[in-house]
Structure 1
Amino acid sequence: MANQQEKKETTNTTGTEKQRKATTGAWWKSTVTAEPGDAAKPPAKPEPDEAPVKDHGQPAEATKADHPPAPSKDEPPPVTGAQDKAEEPAPSGDAPSLTGEAEPPPVQKKRGRGPRKKSKPKKEQSQAVPEDDEGEEDERANVVKLLINAEEPEECRLALLEDGRLESIYVTTVSRINTRNNIYKAKVTGIEPNLQAAFVDYGTEKNGFLPFSEIHPEYFRQDLSDDIRELVEAHQWKKVSITDVLEKGQEMLVQVVKEEVGSKGANMTTYLSIPGRCVVLMPGSDSHGISRKIAGEERRRELREIMDALPIPEGVGWIVRTASIDMTKTALNRDVRFLIKLWKEIKTKGQTLAGVGLLYQDHDCVMRFLREHFDPMIQEIMVDDLAAFEKVQDFVEMLPARQKKVRVKLHRGARPIFNQYSVEDQIESIYQPRVNLPSGGSIVIEPTEALVSIDVNSGSTSKGKNFEETIFQANMEAAAELARQLRLRDLGGLIVVDFIDMRVTKNIREVEKKVKQMMKRDKAKFDVSRISRLGLMQISRQKLGSPIESGNYQICQYCRGRGTIRSVETLALFYLRRIHTGASRRQVTRIECRFPLEVTHFLLNNKRHELLELEEKYQTELVISADPAMKPTEHDISFVKAEKEDAGNK
């Protein structure tokens, strides 16, 4: 989950893009020349032609802007002052949208108070981790408990509660193993020039999808023609075909940026990032930066000096995460040394592994959540498993003194932990299509293959005297709830919301503002459009993984996912037509049928006359039997032909 959890933390990098074909001590097949004990060279100053920050599907902190030149859909323009500007303490909340477009300025200017502001956080808590702005801090001040249900080995669940209300849920099951952020040794099995992408075998049933823009130049063929080499050096990626620089059978290290969804394979990248609590290491890169959420030039300079003094090998980039705002030099040093040691183990395993396979697997559900989502505003952590409880305690011990105020308790109650805090019913509600609103309205969420549709219904809300005001109230409630439901259900892609029609332009703008304000609490990238004249709003939300429902539910064996089945009468007539068609063929002397119980009863009781006519007309024997074990859509019809005459009589 590390790859997009810090997506709102726009990073700033000051590394130098190098044109050489090999990075010393960083690439997986190279020899390590800089040991962790050696002093790292100070980073070079930015060059005028430094590449701009670009998201390759890694954590926003691990943006691959300053990797060795990578192909992309558009030729990267030169950056002259963007790097220096990014180094300055930028205002929080500059979250990039899914499409890379900035959100409308009016929303950022008026992003003030949250809708559920009840109490102000304590001063010592508000100083622990500065939030994007005062409004978001007030909203998140009500987060009081984190419940961890890890008692059963088949399933691990973590629920974040805000005043007893479920705000986030993370589930890992045996059938839904998380592969995001895993690193594999892979082999190119297919190249599609029309897609400008390659398919790689990394040891699973489905091949991974590797776009051209995610292929590190280190993997380009060595025997490039002069024309192609000039285009690569000039970053003219639109004029370069993937078949010119890549060939089948090549081995490479890849990382999962998006898990398999349905029949689609996982999206891969060769720009590796190894996340820690404080730092993200980026092997094969010369970039370095500090999260823009860390405000204050003095603190940023301190962190930069600390990182420059740490023994980081040449050719390994780094990003300081937001969690490092209160970290000491010792904590940063410990985190960096651990990540460097981990990278050396991954590289060694990749060099010695025969064939393809897994090289690095991300932490378990508990540690991954704490690493990516722990917030000092969490006041209490309840755990029902002793092993998980010890992991949480060890994690809290490594936190700075300001963040150690969280209480960690082992649940020993007679009732299950989620039942005791009334979470089970809230979890079950996220699997239902209809969600009721406080004023009497509701929203209906229907995921489809192409998009997710959300319909807002007024219900009893429209019974008020002031119709426009009640409709506005229902839409405002729906705006807040739909953002929460998208986060809980982890629905991504294109979302279309059908709001109740409003006549007042001011109300329409308030609903738009409300949606954007509530969506900013989401960890995924998003982009929100205005409400059209038809009352429709389009939301594009980044897919962080498979929807939570896919890991807990199976497709219905009766309806095959349609939600409806044919009626008994329709099925009976359908089977009767098939019997008629088969009986009309020559040499059919016997027809044996097995149908579900209800269908059999209907045919024998309501269609007996038609069945007798078929037997007399085609001189065939019709046998229909009921099988209670059959599902409504199952059937078995066998046509027995007459025995063939002797060969001499033919």
Structure 2
Amino acid sequence: MIMPFDTIPLPKDVLHPPETVLVNITPQETRVALLEENEICELHIERNSGHGLVGNIYLGVVRRVLPGMQSAFVDIGLERAAFLHIVDILEQKQKPDETQRIEHMLFEGQTLLVQVIKDPINSKGARLSTQISLAGRFLVHLPQDEHIGISQRIENEEERNSLRERLNALLPENACHGYIIRTSAETATDAELQADIHYLTRVWDNICQRAKTCQPETLLYQDLPLSLRVLRDMFNHNTVQILVDSKRNHEKMSEFAQQYVQNAAEKIHLFKGERPLFETYGIEGEINRALQPRVNLNFGSYLIIEATEAMTTIDVNTGGFVGSRNFDETIFKTNLEACHAIARELRLRNLGGMILIDFIDMTLPEHREAVLNEFAKALSLDRTRVTLNGFTSLGLVELTRKRTRESLSQVLCEPCPVCQGRGRLKTAQTVCYEIQREIVRESRRFDVKQFRIIASPQVIDLFLDEESQSLALLIDFIGKPIMLETDGHYSPEQYDIVII
């Protein structure tokens, strides 16, 4: 039986549904949608004006070492300095049991080879690591390490040992570099593994040469564009087809596939529909729905998703769903449906960090356990690392999802300039009372002839109607006239008090 606060293991043997990948390319941006059984589950967007930084390698300069936080700020040529914590320094990673001090490893002005492991998010700079890793189709190259690791998704011990032996046989005798064998290597031939080794070795040699000649704060290596990363990172044996709506990029992807992902080449097709690709598959509407807090489920039930910088909360509601049997069964059925909807929304919206889910209260322990098991099954399809915990003492389900890039909302939206991202505005009455309090304060500080209030139409209308009596009392109290002026360009919370 699952106990509260236990970490729930995600099943490894879940049958993955067939996948279709849609690649929409314009001069301004590339968008990739992943469909599972014709339902969008992931959306990746890369704009030409701002490529994602994860995987980029820079020659950085240490600007500030913070012993108290065991971290440092490193300049890599971006608007904000990037952040490097001691746990992401190679020497500490190689000796995790030894306590080391960052001030003994780094000094201000030091040049450093660093890699971005997390994009800048909101006001936070990029996060860095000094352990370099280069991703290939079947292998991840660790040029500063000698360890050969295996993807955790490959569980069969016999298969793991076989892959390790095959890779060791392909490496040169004097090789001192490490590798991680990716899940896709299970079906790779020796020739494909060898090609990956040669490619990654060439990339690392080029980075080392550039590091010797380039100035600090220089970008030494940039990851593949999104259209090619699709083939390297997303293509697998469940992929049925990859549709591309750009002839030029279709040729590029086909050429890349022929060289590095040969079994994907025959599944890449040029989309020639009369309507745009994303419109044909209903993706545009799904994107707009993914920016709304409400997600409708079947039979009238729904989710409310509220994402903040601190955490994301998800509330499950029955809505108008009354079921056909009894109340417990209605709640149970709604929660089971919500499991799959929540797992999909986390992927589609790319929500990360701490996530709290308020399922509808269930009185039967077997229902609670079944919901957790179903939720773990739904989350196992996620490519991003997820840790699921049991019900807390308050009846909430807690999970964490690794955050490596901005959420869909952060990519497509910006904080409202009127409410500053709060999502709510002060009422006109609240603004009226703020203005009156400020006028009282100013009348005591300055000897003025009169005051002029410039505000939005809603506020001025309120002064002239419901709050006209309080305005008259204020004029009598301060003994000075108050003039009103409307400005249609003012937001509901914006106002100015002019002293004359």
Q: Same fold (TM over 0.5)?
A: yes
1:464 Cα deviation (Å)?
3.6
Contact 1:176/1:551, CA 8 A, preserved across alignment = no
Match of 1:554 in 2: 414
Cα distance in structure 2, aligned partners of 1:590 and 1:346:
69
Cα distance in structure 2, aligned partners of 1:627 and 1:181:
49
Letter in 2 for 1:631: S
Cα distance in structure 1, aligned partners of 2:327 and 2:96:
59
Q: Does 1:245 align with 2:105?
A: yes
Cα distance in structure 2, aligned partners of 1:528 and 1:325:
27
Match of 1:573 in 2: 433
Match of 2:212 in 1: 351
* Candidates 177, 183, 190, aligned match of 1:322: 183
1:186 Cα deviation (Å)?
0.9
In structure 2, the CA distance between the partners of 1:286 and 1:378, relative to structure 1 (3 Å rule), is same
Residue correspondence of structure 1 range 184-195 to structure 2 within 5 A? 184-195=58-69
Paired residue secondary structure (1:272): coil
Match of 2:226 in 1: 365
Match of 1:90 in 2: none
1:299 Cα deviation (Å)?
8.6
* Candidates 192, 195, 198, aligned match of 1:334: 195
Match of 1:64 in 2: none
Contact 1:326/1:400, CA 8 A, preserved across alignment = no
Match of 2:43 in 1: 169
Deviations along 1:29-78, whole A, 9 cap, x unmatched?
xxxxxxxxxxxxxxxxxxxxxxxxxxxxxxxxxxxxxxxxxxxxxxxxxx
Cα distance in structure 2, aligned partners of 1:212 and 1:199:
11
Cα distance in structure 2, aligned partners of 1:568 and 1:235:
58
**TM-score using structure 1 length:** 0.71
Cα distance in structure 2, aligned partners of 1:337 and 1:234:
29
Q: Does 1:388 align with 2:254?
A: no
* Candidates 518, 527, 530, aligned match of 2:378: 518
Deviations along 1:134-182, whole A, 9 cap, x unmatched?
xx23x32x32x211111x2222111112232112211123465200111
Cα distance in structure 2, aligned partners of 1:425 and 1:248:
50
Match of 1:51 in 2: none
Paired residue secondary structure (2:390): coil
Deviations along 1:552-594, whole A, 9 cap, x unmatched?
0111111111111122222222212322332333421232332
Contact 1:451/1:494, CA 8 A, preserved across alignment = yes
Match of 1:212 in 2: 86
Paired residue secondary structure (1:545): coil
1:612 Cα deviation (Å)?
5.4
More strand per residue: 2
Letter in 2 for 1:260: P
Match of 1:147 in 2: 22
Letter in 2 for 1:566: K
Match of 1:591 in 2: 451
Contact 1:208/1:268, CA 8 A, preserved across alignment = yes
Deviations along 1:586-629, whole A, 9 cap, x unmatched?
42123233211221222234445555565566554533211111
Contact 1:583/1:614, CA 8 A, preserved across alignment = no
In structure 2, the CA distance between the partners of 1:236 and 1:162, relative to structure 1 (3 Å rule), is closer
Contact 2:6/2:389, CA 8 A, preserved across alignment = no
Match of 1:538 in 2: 398
Letter in 2 for 1:265: G
Cα distance in structure 2, aligned partners of 1:561 and 1:541:
23
In structure 2, the CA distance between the partners of 1:235 and 1:166, relative to structure 1 (3 Å rule), is closer
Paired residue secondary structure (1:379): strand
Letter in 2 for 1:604: L
What RMSD over aligned residues (CA atoms) do the two structures have, in Å? 2.7
Cα distance in structure 1, aligned partners of 2:310 and 2:82:
21
Number of residue pairs aligned between Structure 1 and Structure 2 = 495
Cα distance in structure 2, aligned partners of 1:198 and 1:347:
23
Letter in 2 for 1:622: I
Cα distance in structure 1, aligned partners of 2:434 and 2:105:
56
Structure 1: gaps of 5 or more residues: 1-100, 112-131, 221-231, 641-650
**TM-score using structure 2 length:** 0.91
In structure 2, the CA distance between the partners of 1:614 and 1:168, relative to structure 1 (3 Å rule), is closer
Letter in 1 for 2:369: R
Query: Percent identity, aligned pairs only?
Result: 31
Contact 1:148/1:158, CA 8 A, preserved across alignment = yes
Contact 1:187/1:201, CA 8 A, preserved across alignment = yes
Match of 2:71 in 1: 197
Q: Does 1:493 align with 2:367?
A: no
In structure 2, the CA distance between the partners of 1:299 and 1:207, relative to structure 1 (3 Å rule), is closer
Cα distance in structure 1, aligned partners of 2:298 and 2:94:
60
In structure 2, the CA distance between the partners of 1:236 and 1:396, relative to structure 1 (3 Å rule), is closer
In structure 2, the CA distance between the partners of 1:404 and 1:372, relative to structure 1 (3 Å rule), is closer
Deviations along 1:464-490, whole A, 9 cap, x unmatched?
441111111011111111111111111
Structure 2: gaps of 5 or more residues: none
Cα distance in structure 2, aligned partners of 1:400 and 1:177:
24
Letter in 1 for 2:306: E
Of 373-382 and 241-250, more deviation after overlay is shown by 241-250
1:498 Cα deviation (Å)?
0.9
Contact 2:151/2:182, CA 8 A, preserved across alignment = yes
